[in-house]
Every structure is written in C-alpha cells, then in structure tokens.
Amino acid sequence: MKRFSAVLLILISFSFILHAQKIDVYQRPLKYERSRDYDAKHYRVILTFDLDKKSFWGENKITLSPLKDDFKECVLDAEELTVTSVINDQNLPLQFKQTDKHLFVYFSKAYSYGKAVSFTVKYHAEDPKYGLFFDNEGPTNPKMVSTVSWPEYAHHWFPCYDFPNDKVTNELIVTVKNNNKVLSNGRLVSVKEDKEKGTRTYHWSQELPHSTYLFMLAIGPFVVIEDSLGSLPVNYWVYEKDVKDAKWIFKKTPYMIDFFNKLFGYEYPWAKYDQVTTPRQGGGAEATSATVLGEQVIHDKRAEQDFSWERIIAHEISHQWWGDLITLRTWAHTWLNESFGTYSDYLYTRYDKGEDEGAFDLLRKKNQYLREAHTRYMRPIVFDRYDHPQNNFDSHTYPKGAAVLHMLRFVIGDKPFFRTLKHFLHKHEFQAVDTHDFMIAIKEATGQNLDWFFEQFIFKPGHPVFDISYTWDENIKKLKLKVIQIQDTSKDIPIYKIPVIIGIVIPKKKMSKKVWIKQREQVFEFSAEEKPLMVRFDEGNYLLKEWTFDKSLDELLYQLKNDDVIGRIWAASELIKFKDNSRAVNGLMDRTQKDKFWAVRRSAVQTLGEIKRREHVELFKNKCKDKNSKVRTAALKILGDYQDSGLILFFMEQFKKDDSYLAQAEALRSIGKCGDRSQLSFLESAAKMKSPRDVIKKAADWGIKKIDRKKGKGNFFYDYCPPI
C-alpha cells in the first residue's frame, strides 16, 4: 500500500482511529427550509429574574406582518414556558392553546397580507433545560445566568419564530437584583435603579434585524472592562477574579475588528462589541454585538503558549459579519457561517503571526477535515440531511470549507475574491442567504462563472487524491510530470478540474508553471536547462488534497532544507523511507537544530522518534530545551517511549523546570511509561498541582495507572490522547 501524506498520518490520533465509527450520513432525514406564514418584525421582551429561585417571568410583545391573507391564527415556538395570557393591542384577551413545543394564538378577526399585527404573550419559566441556564456559584464562576440560543433554543426563554430565515429587531428589558449586571444585544438604552426594591432594570435595544439564534442574555456580577475602536465601544464582561488576565487576553480585540473592517470592506455593523465569559460554553458562541465565550478563555500568561484562545476570539469577531450580518437561510448552508469564520481566523493568523504560522494553521485545518473524512464520513459541504442542526457543525463545515475558500481565492485571484466578499456583504446585509446567493455574488463581482468549482467542492463529497511522479530526460532536457487522480469515484466523488502550480528548482533558477488538472491521468512536460533539484506539486499549498510523491533521497534532503514550511514538514516525514541511510538521519538531526520554524523541527524530531535509535537519546534530551514548547513536548513523548528508568531523573527535572503545562504533563506521562513504582509518590504529589483544564493532574493520574497496570500485566501498553 502506498503511504499517503505522512503529514496527515502523524497528526491523526491513533486512538481516535480505533474508536471512530464510519457513519452513513445519507441515512439522516432530508430537511427543507422552514415555511412560515408571517414575517416577525419586532420582539419587545420584558423579564424579571430571580437567580435564587432560578425563575423568570414577564412578556413578549410581538409585532409581525402576515405573509398571507386571512391570517387568523399565529403559531409561535415556545417550550418550557408557561403562558398565562395573551392580549391584543387594546388589552383584550386573545384565545390561545399551548402544546409541548408551540403556542397557538387565535385572533378575533382575520388580517390580510402585509398588515401590521401585534399582541403580547405573558409567561413565566423555571430553570429551563435548554436555551437559558441558571448557574450556582461554583469554584470558577459566580452565580449567574447565560443563554445558548443556538441553534433553535431561543424559544426556551421567549416565545418567537425560532428559525434563522427570519430576522427581527428587538428590545430586551430585564430587571435583576442590583448586585448584578445585564448584557444583551445592541445598544444600552438605559439602566434604571429602584432603590426601594433593590433592583436594576437594563433596557437593551437591537435596532438592526437579526435571527433569533443570535439573541443573547447574560446576568451576573460582572466587572466591565471598557475599551474602544474609535467611536465603537468594545467591552469585556468578566468575573471579578479574572480582571487582570482579561485585560491582556482581550486587548487585541479592537485591532482584530479593525483588521476585519478593512479586509471585508464593510465597517463593523453593530452598535458595540462585547465579550462575556460563562461556564456554559466550551468555545465561543457568536451573537450580534455580544459574543459569549467559555470561561477557559481566561488564563495566566504562562498558559498562553499551551492554551491560547486568540484564534477563537478572532473567529467569533468575524461572525459579526459572517453569520450575524448575513445569516445562513437553513442549516444545510452552515458553511456560510462557519467556513467563512474559520477562513477569517486563518486570515487573521496569517496577518498577525506571519506566513509560516499562517501556512501551518491552514495545514492543521486541512488535516482536521481529512481525519474526519478517513475515520467518520465524507459528505457535501452543503448538506440537507441532518437529525439536528449540530450534525452539520463538523470538520466539513469548519476546516474543509475554509480550505475550499482558500482554493476559490487561488482560482479567481486575490482581488476578485475580496471584491466578491465585499459585494456579498453589502448586497445581502441583514438578510438570510444560501450558497446560490454567494455563487451569484461571484458572478456579479468578477464576471466569472464558478459553478463548476462549487459542483466539485461544495455540492459533492470528497477531495482529490493525487499520485505524482516524474522522469528527467537528460538528452532532451525535459521533465515529464505524471499526475493521476486516484480517489474513489464510486461514491459521487468526481475527477477534479483544478489549476495547480508546479514549482521546478534547478541550480540558480526557479520556475513556477500553472497547469490545469482535468483528467484522471495527465502528463505535463517542462523544459529545463539542468536536472531539477526539486519538483514541487502545488507550490503555494493552495489545494485541499492528499498525495503521494516518491522522491529520491537527494531531492528530499534538498526539500527538507530549502522548501517552504509545508514542504519541509512533508520532507521530514517522508525521510522515514530512508531510515537506514545515515545521510537521511544526519539531515533530520541537522534540521531538529537549525530549522527556523518550530513545526519543521518537531516533524524532524518525530521522524527520528519513529526511527528510535538508542544513540539519539541525547539529541531528544537536547530538544527538551527547544524554545518552542510543542517541540519540547514531542521530544519528551519520544523519550518516554524508550521506557528507560535511567531517564526518570531527567523527566523529573523537566517537570520541575519547564514553563509549559503541556510539556510538564508529557514529562509525567513519560515517568509513568517507565513503570517504576518508586515514582508513585512523585506522581501523586504532582497530581495535586493546579493547571488549566487539569492537564497536570490528568497526566499524573495516567502515569499512576500506567505503573499500576505494568505491575499487574507485565508490559501492557496502550495509546493515549494528549490533551489539546
């Protein structure tokens, strides 16, 4: 069997493959866009909260416009809410019926198409299971309330039409005890204090239309750190204990908004931008003008190298355009939110961290998708089969779509690509859109018809898999490059049409030629003055692909030293094919020290780890001093695999002096792998150390278990997933 992209294989977690199951996503039910018979215009929600009793009560005044004649009955989504009355504009009661999921309101007369209709629903609720959460004071958080309206849970805290194809303006007027603050979407109209009752009423107004899953509410004793971008207020709502760290963690927010303003060609659309931390989010959840972030976003400076949320902060900011300003019409088109958001966080990484980090981030995204494609399923990016919208928020939607946008940019060119984004945003601002709207935007902004591109990469599953080889004819000075597409085309995966850049390096000269791949098998001929030192397929790394490309030792050694970071990482992993050759080993050893990019050094370390020679122990020990913690962590893992008790003292030293939590955790696991019972007390005391996400405790516990198992079962060994 041919060895596919080694970069991919290294990054795939072995245990994940063991436990993953193939899923037939085509068995999922077909879902259509929801039909509606009215257009909701405005929700005026007035609520009072009792955080001790975990209850809230109040009303929603709904203004809507019928989309049909003879509109006599209105069906609203409402769950876990107890409706006590519905009244019309004249304060007269209206008939209503409540079922598990819906509220039916019956009008006393029929309304015709386009008329304004308004009525008020009075209701109360206690500690709902979905949508709105009451949290007791915990070890990390104060007593508070936060919402998760996504994807269709807003109707668990106010009755509404709860599907993203409708956009409304809204007010949220919330009364709480005066030790709390209230955050919501839009502009803060007023805060009124009632000293007698000891309450405060916050009046928020979102004056620009948005979908219900973007409604948010947070109540708690937050400290608000004020910041700004010009006249735009930018605030960070955090727990009191987190203020010091929140200041540096969020400080790039205005700079990120400014970057996206210029990149997208559309000024930030909302009245302000807030970020708030809650115990209910694992990552981040966008909401118009107010992003809800998991409380783990806050950590000390030391943890930044291991657990930085900078990319997530940028990703969520970009949703203020992708998702919030323009919104997916149905959950089949999740990529319009998430692929654009994920591509935006790549663009920010490329801008802020430079070309190498940008390239590596894109590789990481591609591999995330490929892992899902190999171990779970392949589906079209636009996919209308799902049990629940969450099904579509996977590695096809986030990283694959981002990689496809990068290819699209390559195909149409930088300027036309960003012109298209700008046009798409301006044309469809405050609207719900689907993929065809984007395809039309490309045609309008560039004149180009990219339907063939969408057909391959958006509406069909899979990705190209190339087998590449070449020959050099010294007599006629010609290079013949053969490209075969070897993907399995039986599952609706096409033979791809796509341009690709071939890079040819000869001594003192470099050529780049763009060719079009169109058939299953093609041969391209290039003239060169001398035999190439390196032939590069997909120079610039624009394509989402897997590939095999058997190269000579000389070429791989040249590539390892001279190519871009992605080529160097690939060459380092390919050199395993020459593991018995001293030139290959020496080349890798050289790169572990001298390469300027950490991921190349790590790739070289990992290949040497696969070769696993006794004489390399000193080299790996030396790499535990690398300035990048990920390289140190990789070296510690490899050293642990020697299961050599003679290294225990070294691991203990590393544990004590490394400033990376993840490297420390790896040192503990390596102690565990040695299986020496005398180390149990060391691991037990290490397990008491506090660390973000408990990575130290988990590693120490793993090490203890490992030693215990070794005693009982001899050389028992199992793989593990390092925490990320």
Query: Which residues here bind Zn ion, judged by CB under 5 A?
Result: 338, 341
Q: Name the residue type at position 289.
A: S
Q: Which is nearer to Zn ion, 373 or 402 (CB)?
A: 402
CB of 336 to Zn ion, least distance (A): 11
Q: Which is nearer to Zn ion, 278 or 592 (CB)?
A: 278
CB of 427 to Zn ion, least distance (A): 22
Distance CA 149, CA 114 (A): 28
CB of 38 to Zn ion, least distance (A): 30
CB 229 within 8 A of CB 267: no
CB of 322 to Zn ion, least distance (A): 8
Among the listed residues 151, 174, 165, 162, the one whose alpha carbon sits nearest the alpha carbon of residue 212: 162
Q: Name the residue type at position 221.
A: P
Distance CA 513, CA 503 (A): 7
Q: Which is nearer to Zn ion, 186 or 341 (CB)?
A: 341
Q: Which is nearer to Zn ion, 326 or 412 (CB)?
A: 326
DSSP state of 17: H
HSE toward the beta carbon, residue 114, CA cutoff 13 A: 0
Contacts of 22 (CB under 8 A, 6+ apart): 375, 376, 377
Q: Which is nearer to Zn ion, 166 or 286 (CB)?
A: 286
CB of 263 to Zn ion, least distance (A): 17
CB of 238 to Zn ion, least distance (A): 21
CB of 153 to Zn ion, least distance (A): 17
Distance CA 279, CA 138 (A): 9
CB of 147 to Zn ion, least distance (A): 17
Distance CA 375, CA 362 (A): 20
DSSP state of 160: B
- Report H helices in 376-474: 401-412, 414-427, 435-446, 451-457
Q: Which is nearer to Zn ion, 159 or 323 (CB)?
A: 323
Residue nearest Zn ion by beta-carbon distance: 341
How far apart, in Å, do the first and last CA atoms of the chain sit? 31
Residue 220 DSSP SS3: strand
Q: Is 198 left (phi over 0), alpha (psi -120 to 50) or beta?
A: left
CB 336 within 8 A of CB 433: yes
Distance CA 549, CA 619 (A): 29
CB of 319 to Zn ion, least distance (A): 6
Q: Which is nearer to Zn ion, 317 or 458 (CB)?
A: 317
Q: Tokens at residue 717, please?
A: 């060994």
Q: Which is nearer to Zn ion, 246 or 287 (CB)?
A: 287
Give burial (CB, 10 Å; 0-12/13-18/19+) of 198.
Answer: exposed
CB of 285 to Zn ion, least distance (A): 8
CB of 276 to Zn ion, least distance (A): 16
Q: Which is nearer to Zn ion, 312 or 440 (CB)?
A: 312
Q: Which is nearer to Zn ion, 286 or 538 (CB)?
A: 286
Among the listed residues 587, 625, 621, 627, the one whose alpha carbon sits nearest the alpha carbon of residue 607: 587
Residue 208 DSSP SS3: strand
CB of 128 to Zn ion, least distance (A): 24
Q: Which is nearer to Zn ion, 319 or 706 (CB)?
A: 319
Q: Tokens at residue 492, please?
A: 């609706």
Distance CA 434, CA 291 (A): 23
CB of 338 to Zn ion, least distance (A): 5
Q: Which is nearer to Zn ion, 307 or 335 (CB)?
A: 335
Distance CA 484, CA 462 (A): 16
Q: Tokens at residue 248, please?
A: 């540096």
Q: Which is nearer to Zn ion, 339 or 629 (CB)?
A: 339
Contacts of 268 (CB under 8 A, 6+ apart): 229, 232, 257, 260, 261, 320
HSE toward the beta carbon, residue 85, CA cutoff 13 A: 6
